[in-house]
Amino acid sequence: MSAPALEKHFRVKDLAALWGLSQTTIIRLFSNEPGVIRLQSPTGKRKYATLTIPESVALRVHDRLGHKGFEPQLSRRDPFRVVHLSHPNRRVAKQPRNVLNGQPV
């Protein structure tokens, strides 16, 4: 593999467009990732930072996220347990009603 200084580097905007994610998500994923170059402005009222992401770091994070997948997280106790979100008899009409005029049958 080539030296990290000579490999392709991505900006947040470019990687967000490439992966189809928002720039905020890319910043959150890569802000504390080892190998990412973070350039901060030391002056001014607000601190601005520019992230430069090497290709090897982007591939590492992509592989890590890709292996998670969308597998359902089942509880260990009873994976086939039914969870009722509301009372089963709530909002049920006490008498059957005629659909056309709303009057009891």
Give residues with Cβ within 8 angstroms of 75, minimum separation 6: 81
Other CB atoms within a 10 A radius of the CB of residue 26 amount to: 24
Q: For the segment 46-76, what is each residue's pLDDT rounded down to a tens digit?
A: 777 888 999 999 999 988 887 655 555 555 5
For 86-95, write each residue's pLDDT tens digit: 666 666 556 6
Residue 91 lies in a domain: no
Q: Give domain status of residue 21, yes or no.
A: yes
Number of domains in the chain: 1
CB-based contact 83:76 (threshold 8 Å): no
Mean pLDDT of the chain: 76
Question: Who has greater pLDDT, 7 or 43?
Answer: 7
The verdict on residue 45 lying in a domain is yes
User: Could you tell me if residue 36 is inside a domain?
Assistant: yes
Flag whether 103 is in a domain.
no
What is the predicted pLDDT for the residue at 53? 92
In a domain, 58, yes or no: yes
User: What per-residue confidence (pLDDT) applies to 40?
Assistant: 83
Q: Is residue 84 part of a domain?
A: no
Structural domain including 26 reads 9-68
Is 85 within a domain?
no
Number of neighbours of residue 58 by Cβ within 10 angstroms: 23
Write down the residue that tokens 């802000």 correspond to. Answer: 31
In this structure, what token pair is assigned to residue 82?
């039914």
> Is the pLDDT at 11 greater than 80, yes or no?
yes
